[in-house]
Structure 1
Amino acid sequence: MGKKTGNEKEKEDKEAFEPLSLESKAPATVVLLLSSQEEDILVKATEAIQKFAEKGEENKVTLLGIGALGPLCKLIDHSNKVIKRNALMAVGIMATNGEVSDALKKEDVIPLLLQKLTPEEDAVVHEFATLCLASMAVDFTCRVQINTNDGMPPLIKLLSSPDPDVAKNSLEIIFNLVQDLESLEVLHELGAIPPLLELLKSDFPVIQHLALQTFQRVTTDLETRKIFREEQGFERFLDLLDNMEFNDLHAEVLQTVSNCLGDIETLQLIHNSGGLTRLMEFILAPSSPEIQCIAIKCITRAAQSSESRDVLHEQVIERVLVELLSAADDNVKASACQAIAAISFHPGSKDRFRELEGVPIVVQLLHSESSALREAATQALSSLTHKNKANALAVHEAGGHEILIQQLSESSSSTVASSAATLSNMAEQEIIKSSILLQEGIQALVEPLASTDTQVLKYTAMCVAQLACGNTEREKFQKAGGLEPLVNLLYSNDKEVLKHACFAVYACAGDTSCAVKMCRLGALEILQEINQSANRRSSFSELAMTSLLNSNLPVKYNRTRRLSANDIITSGFYDAGQACVGQPFLTLEELIRQPLNQKREIIVFNIPIEETVDLAEDRKPSPTEAEIGIKKVRMPPKKKKEKDKVDEEPQDILPDKSPISFGDVSLHMLIKEAKDTVFQLTDEREQYAALARLVSEAMGGAVPREKLHELGWVLHQSQLRFQLKSNVLPIGMINKGTYCHRALLFKCLADTIGKSCTLVRGDYNRAWNEVLLFKVDRENLRFSMPCRYIVDLMHRPGTLLPIDSPAAQEYQII
């Protein structure tokens, strides 16, 4: 190739473009320049965009809208350091806006930003790269991406950066990362604790607060607490508490202290080094109520385990808490009460609080106008009185039971639950129980039984079980409407509520009227269902059902088909037949009101209240006498001695009254005859035989098995029902009866005269009685093991059939 001539060179110079200086006030134009290949243009464009973004949030959103973010992210990795730095600064400034930050997540820029955290990069790059990451790290997916790209180690190194902005941004990213368990568990392994502790010395409050917030999170991890302890972290935190210049940090410092007191190992080391003493001095030192409350909560946190309570008790923490009960601020007193509630699980602390006169002070706090303080004080009393009779007595002497009863109608569920729990604890002593009952304590429990809060229901039911100890109290509880909500608790799916509800039902069922009422409310059916469930059944549900049945023998015989020797029939008992699935058990009053029907007769055992007629020589009444009570008849008055004779009007029996209301005269005569016949015999076997013969004679006499159909008992009882115009028949009026009628009469008479026997219902109108007798070994003059016998009341009245004999088996079945 030859050399260029002068003319050619001149021509080339004329064709060359002179250097161009660009100026633009349109952001969209500048964004277009980000695609230029000229470095000078890129430097000016990125610098212009950076300055534009710094002017305000609207500009950042504008830049996002005109598409600046994508090109800028690409320029972050430019080979030109100035372009790279300007682009990174622009992106960092824009990322502080929420909309931009959300858009940045779609740019897959995190790996690129993490690459800029190397020591080779300058502080400005570090600052704005971490600024971008800090804006993005609030998002979970971004945190996962940071961890996936191993971002934690370079961030921890940057905590020691001399540039406070870099340190602050890195710390903010780490704080967000440790919100996830994965990062939380590995932070201490990466050596983050020492540089975090150093940041507490920073001259910048924002860095100190961020470091404390990070410590508050990371010290929830046990392994991190160990490293924190080894690095004397707790001592440094106590130093911060001692320095009032840092009182703005005290609240966050105490949050970390609370975490450290959460495990016994750390607490023990703190105690051994004098840290607990320093903490209690700080609690009592003058400070803001807010800080005092947080400090007291540290003690509450520490008192969650029995080992920690031992340490606190050794430190005489009770004295500090009692002193705080007299603080001026209600919140401080409430926090002290919460701490007392926690530490009082230690038996020694319960006694020490009483010895320090703390119990009456807590009782006085129940009168506070602050609902939060009343709630905390009630919780403290609940804990103080749990299994501690002396403290319960101290509360009673301070009049605490009166206001606790009033608090059962509070709106706060926690206050109501704690009040009921405390009253239950106190009611374990009879003298206190009497005082509670005098203040209508058992009636006050009715309202909280309708609560939806499980703790309220649990402790209220527990208190009912404690207070429903006598028929008077049960009657008051019933009249106040407590039985229905109590029975409704049996539907609860909460095991504790159900357990205590069953126990309360057991207690209330000690009164027959309550037992009858609860059965009418469906308690028996619910308990049967519970006891058939493998998950819900418990000893308490079984106890409740047994108690209900034992106090309501008509229901027991109807449902279980058996009355034991301990089930003593009394006046008012009735046999409504065998239970039918799905049919409710009706009361005697309801059965009496029913019109005549074709169903089985109802047999009632009713002893006369008073004699209104002279007993005739015949044991059975005449047909006319059998109609007494359904017709208006004149009853002759009893004869009196001449000196006592007064004018006496004849007594009328109203037509709408049932004969059972006036007693079963024939039954009364049978009872008298049974006493005369049985008690004159000395041999127990003969006594049962004589009673059996009496029952047989009263019910139509002995009937050979092959002639049972000739007895005519069905027709006889139908005639009685027609005469009485009732399905309910007094047992004494039945002249002809089969197995079920005779067995019932035998049980009634035996129980009335004090003889022991069972009553068992079989199938097809079969029923029988079992008696227990000892066989006498006359040679050795001693009793052998007892044997059970079935009493024959039908075929050979008075015969005792060994329970396992063929004759006994034949007696029980058709």
Structure 2
Amino acid sequence: MGKKVKKESETPCKETFEALPVVGKTPATVVLLLSSPEEDILIKACEAIHTFAEKGDESKVSLLGLGALEPLCQLITHNNKLVRRNAFMALGIMATNGDVKSALNKIDVTPLIIDKLSLEDDTVIHEFATLCLASLSFYLYVFSTPIISSFHIYFYILQDFSDLHAEALQVVANCLSDSESVQLIHKDGGLTRLMDFLLTPNMPEIQSNAVKCISRVAKSSENRKVLHEHNVEKVLVELLSVADIGVKTSACQAVAAMSFHLSSKDRFRDLGGIPAVVQGLSSESLALRQAATQALSNLTYNNKHSAFAVFEAGGHEILVQQLNGSCPRMVANAAATLGNMARHEIICCSILSHGAIPALVEPLKSTDTQVLVNTTQCLTVLACDTEARAELQRAGGLQPLVSLLQSYHKEVLSNTCFAVHVYACEESAAVEMCKHGALEILQEINQSVNRKSSYSELAMISLLNCNLSVKYSLTGHLASTDVIVDGFYDAGKVCGLLILTLEELFKQPVNQHRPIIVVNTSTEYESYIKKKYFNGLF
């Protein structure tokens, strides 16, 4: 090539290639060689770029900046097989970087890659072409004809090249995101072929990726109906019993997705799938436990028979234990499932007997929104009797419950207000919540245009009905159903949001304000008042 008269210009990366058998050792020089008319140089240049790109993301971005993508995209269609192979290897490694993915998407190289998936080409090319598409498939338009055609090629590859199964299934999973593409594949028998891979013996990676395809397909109601017609539930129940943890986890995720279809819930239960999911709750794998709790949450939602199936399998006891876990997602799912199950009296009593309410106190202090939504909802459902409501008070749960009234998340606030309404049925609980400032917070909420709701008004009414003195101070009147007893006091119209108890009022010095009227009909109560507040002065 001759000697250079001028020095090489500066490049974004100063690192050099190791033992490059062509003229030029810098990345910029090698990128220039991708335009060479000599096949030997092209082969070696692509190989060098592949080696350099394997060093990490910094190298991939450097090559992107030097303009390596466009010539590589052209070289994957070169007549020379070795040039094509090395170009695909370089492109496949580079495509794993996010910046490179975006750039490739703009170039629209997908049709060229798909064109090289024919069985006449090299298996190495198939491998790296698959790697490219697996990386790019999140960016692809699934409605385009080339992508739909690629499914047929991939299913063909799945039948002849076992070493490419996992990668090819990953591409299929990434692309199966809408009902139109699923319907096209379904008409051509693609779903039937996909189902065959779910039970591929001794190939857990293939099974796991095949199940991920099912989960992706099951995102829409129309697709769930198609899968249900293919009896996918039977296959998933079988996969719940395999030894591989990854396959079990993927199967639980697919069960969770399919459980949005009502008939699928019933079929999973009839096939004995629920006890298998419950077993996943005791796994050492956090991912499997998370997937199992999500599946049970979906299976038991508005489904009495599934709730009883979980109960009979002993799932409620394990779920109560999981409320103390450190994983917010799992805690949220456990609380949701217990809430779904507790709507049935027999199950509710058993859940309470295993200490569910004390276990829910810690989740009330969580910063995770979904944990708070599910926990407050579960507490409300569990408050089925006086003992259950008193248990939350004994466990110290009323203070964190009142604190959640300050939340600006709409669903958390609504659930909390309703929980306050339910637990305020117990006078002692209502009094304690008032001591923690529940009335003042609710007053503030009900004066807000954005935060006020029917739930906040209901909570306020419930607290006032258990504290008639405060109710009279705030509203200036009592209802005909309100019955005052000893200890009722009239301190006049309250000023601001501060509501003082009788004990706090007694501690104030005598002043020019109007006297406080206290209802006292018994000498026994009079003696109690004198002893407690006036220290025998009377």
TM norm structure 2: 0.85
Look up the SS of the partner of 2:531 in the other structure: coil
**Is it true that 1:586 corresponds to 2:522 in the alignment?**
no
- How far apart, in 2, do the equivalents of 1:251 and 1:190 lie? 19
1:236 aligns with 153
AA aligned opposite 1:415: M
The answer as to whether partners of 1:199 and 1:211 remain within 8 angstroms in 2 is no
Match of 1:122 among 38, 63, 67: 38
CA shift for structure 1 position 266: 1.5
What runs of 5+ residues in structure 2 fail to find an aligned partner? 11-18
Look up the SS of the partner of 2:67 in the other structure: helix
Match of 1:412 among 323, 327, 331: 327
| Equivalent runs, 1:495-534 vs 2, <5 Å | 495-534=410-449
CA shift for structure 1 position 173: 4.0
AA aligned opposite 1:210: F
- How far apart, in 2, do the equivalents of 1:199 and 1:166 lie? 15
CA shift for structure 1 position 464: 0.8
Change (3 A) 1:142 1:290: closer
| Equivalent runs, 1:728-739 vs 2, <5 Å | none
Between 1:596-605 and 1:486-495, the stretch displaced more is: 596-605
AA aligned opposite 2:7: P
AA aligned opposite 1:288: M
CA shift for structure 1 position 570: 4.3
The answer as to whether partners of 2:92 and 2:128 remain within 8 angstroms in 1 is no
- How far apart, in 2, do the equivalents of 1:508 and 1:200 lie? 72
| Equivalent runs, 1:19-98 vs 2, <5 Å | 42=3, 71=7, 89-91=22-24, 94-95=25-26
The answer as to whether partners of 2:114 and 2:129 remain within 8 angstroms in 1 is no
| Equivalent runs, 1:407-556 vs 2, <5 Å | 407-556=322-471
Change (3 A) 1:223 1:364: closer
- How far apart, in 2, do the equivalents of 1:213 and 1:542 lie? 58
The answer as to whether partners of 1:519 and 1:548 remain within 8 angstroms in 2 is yes
**Is it true that 1:373 corresponds to 2:288 in the alignment?**
yes
The answer as to whether partners of 1:188 and 1:224 remain within 8 angstroms in 2 is no
Q: Deviations over 1:94-131 (max 9, x none)?
A: 34xxxxx4xx5xxxx79xx56x656x822234345656
Q: Deviations over 1:355-405 (max 9, x none)?
A: 112223322333444443333222211110011111112222333222222
The answer as to whether partners of 2:39 and 2:83 remain within 8 angstroms in 1 is no
**Is it true that 1:329 corresponds to 2:244 in the alignment?**
yes
CA shift for structure 1 position 567: 4.3
Match of 2:145 among 200, 224, 227: 227
Q: Deviations over 1:605-664 (max 9, x none)?
A: 3454xx98xxxxxxxxxxxxxxx955xxxxxxxxxxxxxxxxxxxxxx896257xxxxxx
The answer as to whether partners of 1:318 and 1:353 remain within 8 angstroms in 2 is yes
CA shift for structure 1 position 304: 1.7
2:187 aligns with 272
Match of 1:656 among 523, 528, 531: 531
The answer as to whether partners of 2:530 and 2:536 remain within 8 angstroms in 1 is no
CA shift for structure 1 position 352: 1.0
The answer as to whether partners of 1:73 and 1:88 remain within 8 angstroms in 2 is no
- How far apart, in 1, do the equivalents of 2:119 and 2:103 lie? 20
- How far apart, in 2, do the equivalents of 1:550 and 1:281 lie? 64
- How far apart, in 2, do the equivalents of 1:126 and 1:430 lie? 75
- How far apart, in 1, do the equivalents of 2:384 and 2:485 lie? 22
The answer as to whether partners of 1:123 and 1:163 remain within 8 angstroms in 2 is no
CA shift for structure 1 position 434: 2.5
- How far apart, in 1, do the equivalents of 2:439 and 2:120 lie? 67
- How far apart, in 2, do the equivalents of 1:124 and 1:72 lie? 23
CA shift for structure 1 position 476: 1.4
Look up the SS of the partner of 2:235 in the other structure: helix
CA shift for structure 1 position 473: 1.8
- How far apart, in 1, do the equivalents of 2:63 and 2:159 lie? 39
Q: Deviations over 1:399-421 (max 9, x none)?
A: 32222222222233222211110
CA shift for structure 1 position 224: 5.5
CA shift for structure 1 position 286: 0.8
- How far apart, in 2, do the equivalents of 1:292 and 1:278 lie? 13
1:218 aligns with 136
Q: Deviations over 1:190-212 (max 9, x none)?
A: 842443424994243xx433211
- How far apart, in 2, do the equivalents of 1:415 and 1:463 lie? 15
2:305 aligns with 390
1:605 aligns with 519
Q: Deviations over 1:747-779 (max 9, x none)?
A: xxxxxxxxxxxxxxxxxxxxxxxxxxxxxxxxx
CA shift for structure 1 position 343: 0.9
CA shift for structure 1 position 568: 4.4
AA aligned opposite 2:444: E
2:13 aligns with none
AA aligned opposite 1:550: N
Change (3 A) 1:359 1:571: farther
AA aligned opposite 1:250: H
1:197 aligns with 117
Change (3 A) 1:598 1:236: same
The answer as to whether partners of 2:491 and 2:515 remain within 8 angstroms in 1 is yes
- How far apart, in 1, do the equivalents of 2:325 and 2:293 lie? 12
AA aligned opposite 1:212: T
Change (3 A) 1:587 1:306: same
Look up the SS of the partner of 1:169 in the other structure: helix
Structure showing the higher strand proportion among its residues: 1
| Equivalent runs, 1:126-141 vs 2, <5 Å | 126-127=42-43, 130=46, 140=61
- How far apart, in 2, do the equivalents of 1:354 and 1:298 lie? 23
Change (3 A) 1:199 1:89: farther
> Which structure has the greater CA radius of gyration?
1
Number of aligned residues: 522
Change (3 A) 1:463 1:175: same
Change (3 A) 1:399 1:593: farther
Match of 1:346 among 255, 261, 285: 261
What runs of 5+ residues in structure 1 fail to find an aligned partner? 1-33, 47-67, 75-85, 96-100, 613-627, 631-652, 659-721, 727-814
The answer as to whether partners of 2:258 and 2:264 remain within 8 angstroms in 1 is yes
AA aligned opposite 1:158: L
Look up the SS of the partner of 2:489 in the other structure: strand
AA aligned opposite 1:90: V
1:283 aligns with 198
The answer as to whether partners of 1:200 and 1:212 remain within 8 angstroms in 2 is no
Q: Which has the higher contact order (CA 8 A, sep 6+)?
A: 2
Change (3 A) 1:400 1:173: closer
- Identity, in percent, stands at 47
Look up the SS of the partner of 1:601 in the other structure: coil
| Equivalent runs, 1:238-317 vs 2, <5 Å | 238-243=155-160, 246-247=162-163, 249-317=164-232
- How far apart, in 1, do the equivalents of 2:349 and 2:89 lie? 64
- How far apart, in 2, do the equivalents of 1:263 and 1:129 lie? 40
- How far apart, in 2, do the equivalents of 1:224 and 1:348 lie? 28
Structure showing the higher helix proportion among its residues: 2
The answer as to whether partners of 2:492 and 2:516 remain within 8 angstroms in 1 is yes
The answer as to whether partners of 1:185 and 1:224 remain within 8 angstroms in 2 is no
Change (3 A) 1:230 1:359: closer
Look up the SS of the partner of 1:416 in the other structure: helix
- How far apart, in 1, do the equivalents of 2:148 and 2:401 lie? 56
Q: CA-atom RMSD, angstroms?
A: 3.6
| Equivalent runs, 1:549-564 vs 2, <5 Å | 549-564=464-479
